[in-house]
């Protein structure tokens, strides 16, 4: 059992004794199906703490006695209005109103989108104050008892949600932290991902093919020694191997590292020198892959092409989901570019994170980030653009100081060094098993370590998760999460068990074929989105808190060397998501001639009590990318099946391929708690794939 600690009592904090409301008006919300929902909108805040909030209240005759409070990953000065901008299936306000719940959001006291705060605990203390005010305002508005309060947030918002429910009692009745990290996640998850992208950049297609339908099943097939070693290390750290498809398709990037790296450099500047000089660090090995990828190149500017003037944004920046909120913290050089007299001449050039150090002229001492590079087809020169940078100087002003002949130095040393930082951040807490690969048999680190494990200060909450939850809690985690290792949910589950002694008020749902973000735009023929699962979980935790209705049991899973493994069949897996067996001519890989029919079969099984199958749709020719409008455009028929304890559906369809080639077909199966195919907000999805080789 965890040790007792002093909890925050929001009613005693006199810094929040000056609430105000500056908007109180009736509005209408337009839903994706054309339905219009009237609601009452209130905007206000607490003056002294610069906290602002939005309350969206359903009509009085339908209010269900509950509200959902959204916690964003990166609070900004106007974040209380972020969800008001969302539409379609991603409309969290519309979802709450449709289910007769109020919706609450705040800026958590933030006056800037990013940067250090005097007191990081303000994010959860202000959230508690907003929740308390919402309760009082709702009781006044409806003349009802105190409503059930459910808080939820993902990624960075998951840290904040956990901080809320661990450090405050008596405010929230339920919580849904989702795609959560651990105290050791940042910056380690981001840095290791970028290192994996670098070392595996030439074999990502092989990895994906090996793991896909009809593949060998051995992800190391065809990889060289360095690539095998890195893939094994990434897998043990917790990166889901199937998620490499994103990079293989050209859809992956270095994510939020431009935002996180300055913090590492401020906190541990010595590391970036020791990495290249001290034995035990990868950079000190002259034969290492990182040494081969290092660029230190001096050249001169041939010509300067000024960036255009950017128009001032007039619309509210609504990037507040778990995948793109960090983008508000960086800027780039627009359309400006530099032509160079010489450019590095090197095979398999790695330019990510390269710094442009201006060494001579009026702009000497300035450092910019390299964006894209365009080596000359013939000759030794090239052109470069300016990339995304956190806290960058005004690029147009810098360009105005440059003249042809100025010397610049291209250097990616620091960016390469930071990629290995996770290796030197081995937590003293042995429950972080992902780092066992860097430990001796007695648990001590086997390689040099930094003085501080930085992740504990990167949560943005001023606290560290201890699992001492004070309300009903369900964690939603993705098995193909490219940004947060899935094992972090399991780690937190054990913290709850240690703190509470049981899991009576805790569940965790692992979901296959889902990545970090829940937004509908991300869906493609490799992954689907978990938005419907997340929203159904919010309804379930509210029913649990309000009526005592027990939610579905946690997903059954095992932890194995960094990976979370679940049973293939949903009847054994549990949780909310259905399982799918998808075959082409009876196998996951079929070989046919042009014009020969391929017989596809679907067998899908639901966890007990999770609803009914509502749709079975197909994509016969793999569509790559995100936001493709006609993905799964072939609508199939299906038969619901109840066979004893097994509950699900069966489907079959035939397709003919008219051209030779290798194809991947996909099926998307949807289910809904009440079997309602028209209910867009709570459709639970999963997909499966098959390979078809067509010859002439």
Q: What is the pLDDT of residues 311-341, one digit of tens each?
A: 333 344 555 555 544 334 344 567 889 999 9
- Mark which of 497, 515, 547 sits at the end of a domain: 547
Whether 1 is covered by a domain: the verdict is no
User: Hey, what are 204's tokens?
Assistant: 């990502």
pLDDT of residue 368: 92
Q: What is the CATH number of the domain that holds 133?
A: 3.40.50.1820
- Mark which of 431, 455, 479 sits at the end of a domain: 455
Model pTM?
0.93
Q: Do both 26 and 174 map to the same domain?
A: yes
pLDDT of residue 415: 97
Dihedral sign, Cα of residue 653, residue 658, residue 664, residue 668: negative
Q: Do both 207 and 305 map to the same domain?
A: no
pLDDT over 60 (residue 197): yes
Q: Are 162 and 143 in contact (CB under 8 A)?
A: no
Q: How confident is the model at residue 307 (pLDDT cuts 50, 70, 90)?
A: confident
Supply the DSSP symbol for 346. Answer: -
Q: Do both 171 and 209 map to the same domain?
A: no
pLDDT of residue 220: 98
Convert 407-421 into a string of H (helix), E (strand) and C (coil): EEEEECHHHHHHHCH
Q: Do both 450 and 484 map to the same domain?
A: no
Whether 3 is covered by a domain: the verdict is no
Q: Do both 588 and 624 map to the same domain?
A: yes
Q: Do both 538 and 594 map to the same domain?
A: no
Residue 391's nearest CA partner among 262, 272, 264, 265 is 262
Q: Do both 609 and 646 map to the same domain?
A: yes
Q: Do both 36 and 168 map to the same domain?
A: yes
- Mark which of 342, 377, 411 sits at the end of a domain: 411
Whether 239 is covered by a domain: the verdict is yes
How far apart (Å, rounded) are the C-alpha atoms in residues 95 and 536? 10
pLDDT of residue 392: 62
Residue 343's nearest CA partner among 263, 424, 410, 436 is 410
Of 318 and 532, more confident: 532
- Whole domain around residue 55: which residue ranges? 10-183+459-547
User: Hey, what are 499's tokens?
Assistant: 């703190």
Q: Do both 30 and 178 map to the same domain?
A: yes
Q: How confident is the model at residue 496 (pLDDT cuts 50, 70, 90)?
A: very high
pLDDT over 60 (residue 564): yes
Whether 289 is covered by a domain: the verdict is no
Q: Are 644 and 536 in contact (CB under 8 A)?
A: no
Whether 554 is covered by a domain: the verdict is no
Q: What is the CATH number of the domain that holds 369?
A: 2.40.30
Domain count, the chain: 4
Q: Do both 36 and 166 map to the same domain?
A: yes
Q: Do both 598 and 666 map to the same domain?
A: yes
Q: Are 620 and 584 in contact (CB under 8 A)?
A: no
pLDDT in tens, 543-552: 999 999 999 9
pLDDT in tens, 570-599: 999 999 999 999 999 999 999 999 999 999
Percent of the chain with pLDDT over 70: 94
User: Hey, what are 628's tokens?
Assistant: 């493709």
Q: Are 667 and 616 in contact (CB under 8 A)?
A: yes
How far apart (Å, rounded) are the C-alpha atoms in residues 323 and 309? 28
pLDDT of residue 383: 95
pLDDT over 50 (residue 530): yes
Tell me the helices (H) and strands (E) count for the chain, helix number first: 15, 28
pLDDT of residue 271: 98
User: Hey, what are 314's tokens?
Assistant: 């007039």
Whether 4 is covered by a domain: the verdict is no
Residues 6+ positions from 69 with CB-CB distance below 8 Å: 103, 104, 105, 127, 130, 131, 134, 149, 150, 151, 152, 172
pLDDT, average across residues 278-284: 98
Q: Do both 435 and 320 map to the same domain?
A: no
Q: Are 439 and 446 in contact (CB under 8 A)?
A: yes
Whether 5 is covered by a domain: the verdict is no
Whether 2 is covered by a domain: the verdict is no
């Amino acid at each position: 059992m965890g040790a007792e600690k002093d909890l925050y009592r929001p009613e005693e904090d006199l810094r929040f004794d000056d609430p105000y409301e500056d908007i109180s008006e009736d509005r209408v919300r337009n839903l994706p199906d054309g339905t219009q929902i009237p609601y009452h909108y209130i905007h206000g805040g607490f003056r002294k703490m610069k906290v602002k909030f939005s309350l969206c209240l359903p009509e009085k005759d339908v209010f269900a006695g509950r509200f959902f409070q959204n916690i964003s990953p990166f609070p900004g000065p106007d974040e209380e209005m972020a969800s008001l901008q969302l539409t379609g299936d991603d409309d969290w306000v519309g979802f709450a109103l449709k289910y007769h719940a109020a919706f609450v959001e705040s800026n958590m006291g933030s006056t800037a989108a990013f940067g250090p705060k005097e007191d990081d605990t303000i994010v959860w203390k202000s959230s508690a104050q907003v929740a308390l005010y919402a309760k009082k305002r709702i009781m006044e508005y409806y003349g009802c008892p105190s409503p059930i309060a459910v808080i939820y947030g993902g990624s960075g918002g998951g840290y904040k949600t956990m901080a809320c429910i661990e450090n405050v009692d008596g405010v929230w009745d339920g919580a849904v932290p989702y795609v959560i990290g651990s105290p050791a996640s940042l910056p380690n998850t981001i840095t290791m991902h970028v290192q994996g992208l670098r070392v595996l950049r030439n074999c990502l297609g092989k990895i994906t093919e090996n793991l896909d339908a009809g593949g060998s099943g051995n992800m190391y097939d065809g990889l060289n020694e360095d690539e095998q070693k890195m893939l094994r290390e990434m897998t043990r750290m917790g990166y889901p191997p199937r998620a490499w498809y994103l990079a293989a398709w050209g859809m992956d990037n270095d994510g939020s590292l431009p935002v996180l790296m300055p913090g590492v450099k401020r906190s541990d500047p010595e590391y970036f020198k020791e990495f290249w000089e001290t034995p035990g660090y990868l950079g000190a090995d002259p034969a290492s892959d990182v040494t081969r990828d290092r660029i230190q190149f001096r050249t001169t500017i041939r010509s300067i092409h000024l960036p255009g003037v950017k128009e001032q944004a007039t619309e509210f920046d609504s990037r507040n989901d778990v995948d793109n909120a960090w983008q508000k913290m960086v800027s780039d050089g627009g359309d400006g570019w530099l032509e160079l007299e010489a450019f590095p001449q090197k095979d398999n050039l790695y330019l990510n994170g390269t710094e442009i150090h201006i060494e001579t002229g009026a702009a000497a001492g300035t450092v910019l980030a390299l964006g894209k590079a365009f080596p000359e087809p013939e000759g030794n020169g090239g052109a470069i653009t300016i990339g995304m940078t956190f806290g960058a100087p005004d690029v147009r002003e810098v360009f105005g100081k440059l003249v042809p002949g100025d010397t610049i130095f291209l250097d990616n040393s620091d960016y390469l060094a930071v990629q290995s930082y996770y290796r030197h951040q081995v937590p003293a807490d042995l429950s972080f098993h992902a780092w066992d690969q860097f430990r001796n048999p007695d648990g001590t680190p086997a390689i040099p370590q930094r003085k501080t494990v930085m992740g504990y200060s990167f949560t943005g909450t001023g606290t560290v998760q201890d699992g001492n939850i004070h309300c009903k809690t369900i964690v939603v985690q993705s098995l193909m999460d490219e940004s947060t290792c899935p094992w972090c949910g399991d780690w937190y589950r054990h913290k709850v068990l240690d703190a509470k002694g049981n899991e009576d008020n805790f569940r965790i749902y692992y979901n296959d074929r889902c990545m970090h973000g829940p937004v509908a735009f991300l869906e493609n023929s490799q992954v689907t989105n978990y938005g419907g699962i997340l929203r159904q979980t919010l309804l379930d935790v509210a029913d649990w808190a309000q009526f005592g209705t027990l939610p579905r049991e946690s997903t059954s899973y095992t932890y194995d060397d960094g990976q979370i493994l679940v049973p293939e069949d949903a009847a054994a897996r549990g949780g909310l998501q259905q399982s799918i067996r998808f075959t082409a001519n009876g196998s996951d890989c079929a070989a046919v001639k042009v014009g020969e029919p391929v017989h596809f079969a679907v067998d899908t099984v639901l966890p007990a009590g999770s609803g009914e199958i509502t749709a079975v749709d197909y994509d016969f020719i793999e569509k790559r990318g995100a936001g493709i409008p006609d993905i799964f455009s072939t609508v199939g028929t299906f038969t619901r099946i109840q066979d004893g304890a097994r509950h699900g559906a069966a489907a079959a369809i035939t397709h003919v391929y008219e051209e030779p080639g290798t194809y991947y077909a996909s099926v998307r199966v949807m289910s809904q708690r009440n079997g309602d195919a028209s209910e867009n907000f709570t459709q639970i999805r999963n997909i499966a794939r098959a390979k078809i080789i067509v010859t002439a």
